[in-house]
Structure 1
Amino acid sequence: MGSHRRRPPSGFDRGVNAAGITGIAVTVMSVAAAALGAVPAAAAPKDDTRAEVDRLYTQAEKATEAFNKADERAGTLRKEVSTTQDRIARQQERINTMRDALGSLAGAQYRAGGLDPSLALLFSDNPAEYLDKAAALDRINAHQAGELKDLQVAMRDLAQVREEATAELAELEKSTKAVARHKRTVEQKLAKARILLNSLPSAERAAYDRASRSGRSDLPELGGVTPASGRAAAALAAARSALGRPYVWGANGPGGFDCSGLMQWSYRQAGVGLPRTSQEQRYAGRQVPLSQAQPGDLVTYRSDASHVAMYAGNGQVIHAPYPGAPVRYDPVGMMPISSVTRV
């Protein structure tokens, strides 16, 4: 698969490489110390700031995936409710038509029914024909009455389904709004964190920004490893074509992406339909060990699979990292790996 040498952390769970406030020399020493896991005491406040920003990035991404799932379910339910309403309308139209037919038949029977049936038979010029018509009429009445009853039962059932679906849709829409409110709260926290970062001296802010944007935009060497299939190769090519496009909440292309949106869009270009969320994408194929990862495989992160990327070869993944960072390459070990899935 190529080298998986751990690079300096990047992404949502990166450690802090910010410097103290004593100048560029201290900044460089702090970065080196942070890479070795030993952070000077003077850098602790900056470490706390960065840890808070990373925590907020993680919260935001989890909220985005929860929003994507709720939105997908709501969309599916909207279609089901629409289909059910169409079925009810068609059934109602059929019932109305049958009622009209039965009303016409009843009127005809009333107009022809002035005589007792036995007298009508007695005075009939053709008793056999009369009996045949009467029997046929009885069969028609029984058939139409039964059909009407069945349709009425079906209409009640469909009305119940519509009511249940509408209630569920309202609940899902309420849930989606709650997730959206949570996202707005996180965005506000991110904005506050950015204000805090902007209050740092320019040299320290530049050092933080470099560490926060340590991903690559150039094409990494694949290390001689080929994609697992033609569709994986096509999906990887699509993901590469999205390099530099922005991270956008809840977006699945082509102008912007969140993490799972990029995976879904890339595989769609290869003719493969993936689920919407990173948690569902984790089970969209066969799981393989990281040591056997091939370009095009999906790599999910954290125990809850709340982030997903695509393996690109040579220890690199391509992904939509977080707000403010465009689609880019990062080391595959940028955060704890949950699974590797071959689609």
Structure 2
Amino acid sequence: MASHRRPKQPSRTRVTVLTATAAAAVALTSQAAQAAPSAKPSKDEVKSKVDKLYEEAEKATEKYNGAKEKQDKLEKQIGNLQDKVARGQDDLNDLRGGLGSMASAQYRTGGIDPSLQLFLSADPDDYLDKASTLDQLSGQQVEALKKIQEKQRALSQQRQEASDKLKDLADTRTELGKKKKEVQGKLGEAQKLLNTLTAQEKAAIAADDQRASRASERSALGGSGKPATGRAGSAYGAAQSKIGSPYVYGASGPSSFDCSGLTSWAFAQAGVQIPRTSQAQASYGTRIASQSDLQVGDLVIFYSDLHHVGFYAGNGQVLHAPRTGANVRYESINNMPYQFGVRI
């Protein structure tokens, strides 16, 4: 007679051991996968990522420049206000001294007028609001009190204005610090990527850049574009004299530049003060929409947020301070997204 026994079930202990073994195998496989070196990015991939980081750094640089320009203006305005307050306080002291002289003269001739005596120990605003007091003062005394009152009001307004600007300055300095940190962070990331390249790969990238720059220079200098004249011509000539100068974020010459630092410096050499940032420069002169209407020496604005600017050099080329790691040079206008030109 056949036996109908149940198949023997694995013990709980055996199941637990098998499960633990499987989990360990999965973990080891995962660790091995993580430990396996990932494929090294190619030279072109690294260059693409670095270029993107440099572009982001330049965006932050123009914001940094805007905050720096605002800080400089606020510091100058605060200095002027503080000088006005100091001079105003001296004037007020002189006015009070003159009124004190009147009181002394009155005392020597028979006593101080009660209203004048009251003023000298308190605020003149209290008495000018009381007609009865005015009736007791001489015309000369009334005029002196009114001058003091006006001076006090002006000083109070100037002090408040200076206080407001000091608060604005503190906020601007905080913003400046954040933008500086952002720029340095982007540049640091780019440098880490560049450090993954071999010396030969770095040399190959540099050689490609030099060949492109020389080709653009030949195209610009050999073009048939109308030569720059007037203020734009002088500014463009100043920019040409800085070819080969290094790009440094926040720099505006004379030995290093960022993009808007070069254009603002060059126009300053021509006796023209233009705004510091590319965004502000974009709104400064006459806008030129079509590339075909550009003249040598016009400013050329790039990217939708207007964070890059250079000089039109003719024949489809620009002269600009490109980015960190590069020098002032000629480059094809088509290497960046053109927005419009600006004629100063």
- Identify whether the pair has TM-score above 0.5, normalized to the shorter chain: yes
Which residue of the partner structure matches residue 213 of structure 2?
215
- CA contact 2:57–2:183 (8 Å) conserved in 1: yes
Shift of 1:310: 0.7
Give the Cα separation in 2 of the matches to 1:294 and 1:93. Answer: 56
Which residue of the partner structure matches residue 306 of structure 2?
305
- Equivalent residue in structure 2 for 1:51, among 38, 48, 52: 48
Which residue of the partner structure matches residue 18 of structure 2?
none
Structure showing greater radius of gyration is 2
- CA contact 1:72–1:276 (8 Å) conserved in 2: yes
- SS of the residue corresponding to residue 295 of structure 1 reads coil
Which residue of the partner structure matches residue 155 of structure 1?
155
Which residue of the partner structure matches residue 93 of structure 2?
96
Percent of residue pairs identical: 40
- SS of the residue corresponding to residue 324 of structure 1 reads coil
Shift of 1:111: 3.4
- Which has the higher relative contact order, 1 or 2, with Cα contacts under 8 A spaced 6 or more apart? 1
Shift of 1:228: 5.2
Residue 262 (1) aligns with residue 259 (2)? no
Please list the CA deviations of residues 195-228 of structure 1 after superposition, one character each: whole Å capped at 9, or x if unmatched.
Answer: 122xx4x544333333344323845335322135
Give the Cα separation in 1 of the matches to 2:98 and 2:272. Answer: 51
Give the Cα separation in 2 of the matches to 1:212 and 1:229. Answer: 30
Please list the CA deviations of residues 117-161 of structure 1 after superposition, one character each: whole Å capped at 9, or x if unmatched.
Answer: 9xxxxxxxxxxxxxxxxx997011100011111111111111101
- CA contact 1:95–1:151 (8 Å) conserved in 2: yes
- CA contact 1:222–1:313 (8 Å) conserved in 2: no
Give the Cα separation in 2 of the matches to 1:222 and 1:263. Answer: 23
- SS of the residue corresponding to residue 333 of structure 1 reads helix
Backbone CA RMSD of aligned residues: 2.4
Matching residue's letter, 1:60: A
Which residue of the partner structure matches residue 77 of structure 1?
74
CA distance change for structure 1 residues 183 and 151 in 2, over 3 Å: closer, same or farther? Answer: same
Which residue of the partner structure matches residue 12 of structure 1?
none
- CA contact 1:73–1:172 (8 Å) conserved in 2: yes
Matching residue's letter, 1:306: H
Q: Report the TM-score, using the length of structure 2 for normalisation.
A: 0.76
CA distance change for structure 1 residues 145 and 205 in 2, over 3 Å: closer, same or farther? Answer: closer
Which residue of the partner structure matches residue 225 of structure 2?
225
Which residue of the partner structure matches residue 294 of structure 2?
293
Shift of 1:187: 2.3
1:116-265 equivalences in 2 (<5 Å): 138-197=138-197, 200=198, 202-213=199-210, 214-216=212-214, 218-219=217-218, 220-227=220-227, 229-265=229-265
Give the Cα separation in 1 of the matches to 2:325 and 2:294. Answer: 28
Give the Cα separation in 2 of the matches to 1:279 and 1:323. Answer: 19
- CA contact 1:222–1:312 (8 Å) conserved in 2: no
- Equivalent residue in structure 2 for 1:64, among 61, 66, 73: 61
- CA contact 2:299–2:341 (8 Å) conserved in 1: yes
Matching residue's letter, 1:246: P
- SS of the residue corresponding to residue 287 of structure 1 reads strand
Shift of 1:294: 1.1
Shift of 1:115: 10
Matching residue's letter, 1:208: I
Give the Cα separation in 2 of the matches to 1:281 and 1:224. Answer: 27
The runs of 5 or more residues in structure 1 that have no matched partner are 1-41, 118-134
Shift of 1:114: 4.9
Matching residue's letter, 2:83: D
Please list the CA deviations of residues 312-341 of structure 1 after superposition, one character each: whole Å capped at 9, or x if unmatched.
Answer: 111111111111111111111111111111
Q: Report the TM-score, using the length of structure 1 for normalisation.
A: 0.76
CA distance change for structure 1 residues 45 and 295 in 2, over 3 Å: closer, same or farther? Answer: same
Shift of 1:239: 1.3
- SS of the residue corresponding to residue 246 of structure 2 reads coil
Give the Cα separation in 2 of the matches to 1:100 and 1:233. Answer: 59
Please list the CA deviations of residues 204-263 of structure 1 after superposition, one character each: whole Å capped at 9, or x if unmatched.
Answer: 433333334432384533532213532222222111111111112211111111111111
